[in-house]
Amino acid sequence: MSEAVATKTALEEILDAIKKEHPHFIVTMEKHEDEQAYFKRIAEAVNVLSGDGWNSLTETGGQAWFNAASQATNGMLPLPPIPGFQTTFIPPTEEKKKEDKKMETATEKKPTGKRGVMNRARELALLNPEADSVKITEMLTAEGWPTSADTVWTCVQEVKNVLKAVESCGLSVVKGVGVK
């Protein structure tokens, strides 16, 4: 009677070796990581394994993947996928769906308070340094912002004062670039 022997995938043996030597290492793919970043992080962890850790990897599994990954890195190529690695789609929970919906709604709404108007007035004044407060007020109104002549005038004057200060230092403001 023969017994079935379960073999580990290259990924499983690599992660086991890393966890054994570096218990605090995060072995799962993080939310912000793409596959290449994850593979690179795993390769860096394998690179610092001790001799025993390296020897715990099979020649055709973990060692073979690491050697291929090293060659890819040296040749500036994408790292090969680790045998046994699968990306899995985890459907969002209802709570996550509601949170995403709130974020979408929040980004669709234009701030209408005084601070929003002031920020947009400053932005328009920077983008249109030749425009006066009347022109900026017209632009804000065309965009649907509630305006106040005093508020717009104050913001335009602030921007003009900053631009004068920048120019007095021998610098210039380049549209879309910043101060040079």
Per-residue pLDDT, 2: 46
Per-residue pLDDT, 102: 62
Q: Which domain holds residue 19?
A: 10-74
Helix, strand counts (H, E) of the chain: 8, 2
Enter the DSSP assignment of 174.
E
Residues 121, 61 within the same domain: no
Residues 59, 120 within the same domain: no
Asked whether residue 28 is assigned to any structural domain, the reply reads yes
Question: In what helix (H) or strand (E) does residue 120 lie, and over which residues does it extend?
Answer: helix 114-127
- DSSP, collapsed to helix, strand or coil, labels residue 173 as strand
Paired with 174 in beta bridges are 178
Nearest to 152 by CA among 175, 177, 120, 126: 120
How many Å from the N-terminal Cα to the C-terminal Cα in the chain?
81
**Residues 145 and 120: beta-carbon distance below 8 Å:** yes
Sign of dihedral through CA atoms 14, 18, 19, 24?
negative
Residues in the chain: 180
Residues 120, 172 within the same domain: yes
Residues 115, 69 within the same domain: no
Residue 154, Cβ neighbours under 10 Å: how many?
15
Structural tokens at position 83: 């045998």
Asked whether residue 126 is assigned to any structural domain, the reply reads yes
pLDDT surpassing 70 at residue 179 = no
Asked whether residue 3 is assigned to any structural domain, the reply reads no
**Over the stretch 74-127, which tens digit does the pLDDT of each residue have?**
878 888 888 888 765 455 566 666 666 666 555 455 556 778 888 888 888 878
- Angle at 10 (CA atoms; ends 7, 16), nearest 5 degrees: 85
Structural domain count, the chain: 2
**Over the stretch 11-58, which tens digit does the pLDDT of each residue have?**
889 999 989 988 888 778 888 888 888 888 889 889 889 999 999 999
Asked whether residue 97 is assigned to any structural domain, the reply reads no
CA 103 to chain centre: 17
